Chains A and B, each alone.
Chain A
Amino acid sequence: DAKTTQPPSMDCAEGRAANLPCNHSTISGNEYVYWYRQIHSQGPQYIIHGLKNNETNEMASLIITEDRKSSTLILPHATLRDTAVYYCIEAGANNLFFGTGTRLTVIP
């Protein structure tokens, strides 16, 4: 299974940018990097995905290194509602391998 490496937990002050790193050194050339998050007791929520270019949408920005071995998810102005577990996934097959993710806690 394709696997990514993420820190188990991070804190971020409310209103500041949250930068969540992910290593995906085994990623293949045509595999996308997907980010999901899971708020307590809810199903995973899609955030953003990218192949090699940086991406931005209404929720977040995704910065992918040129060698594609790592990426950073950026929440520009974290709110308390962004407290969740964030999963970085190499989407190589039709089944997503989630790993254990990063637990982000936004602090008032």
Chain B
Amino acid sequence: GAGVSQTPSNKVTEKGKYVELRCDPISGHTALYWYRQSLGQGPEFLIYFQGTGAADDSGLPNDRFFAVRPEGSVSTLKIQRTERGDSAVYLCASSRYASGGAVVTDTQYFGPGTRLTVL
């Protein structure tokens, strides 16, 4: 079946601009996650959604970053006033469910990522 898809695959923007990155999760997956990966590092958690609500946004670096998932499927990560330090690969993952505070969670499946370059 179709996996997680992300668009665009590459995005080049200028410092100070606004960008939107899109994620289409696996059909039927209720949980959706965003991660960011800088060069030479492992992915770092940003935010996750259970359905339409952001259940944990503790990884968002500052208030320039925002994400929505209005219908519980597609999600958009929005970055305002981009800075050169925002340059990274932004990864999206989905899982069938996410445990509500308990330890066990379901396997996350990742998309190919969006490479964001801020000039």
Q: Which residues of A contact B (CB under 8 A)?
A: 28, 30-32, 34, 36, 42-46, 49, 85, 87, 91-101
Contact = CB atoms under 8 A, between A and B. Distances in A.
Interface stretch (B14-22, B68-76, B106-114): B106-114
Interface of B: 4, 31, 33, 35, 40-45, 48, 55-56, 58-59, 91, 93, 98-99, 103-105, 107-113
B43 A94 contact: no
B43 A98 contact: yes
A28 B105 CA distance: 14
A31 B105 CA distance: 9
Given A30-B103, A42-B112, A94 B44 contact: no
B107 A100 contact: no
B56 A95 contact: yes
A36 B107 CA distance: 10
B78 to A, nearest CB: 19
Given A94-B31, A95-B56, A30 B104 contact: yes
A33 to B, nearest CB: 12
A31 B104 CA distance: 6
A46 B109 contact: yes
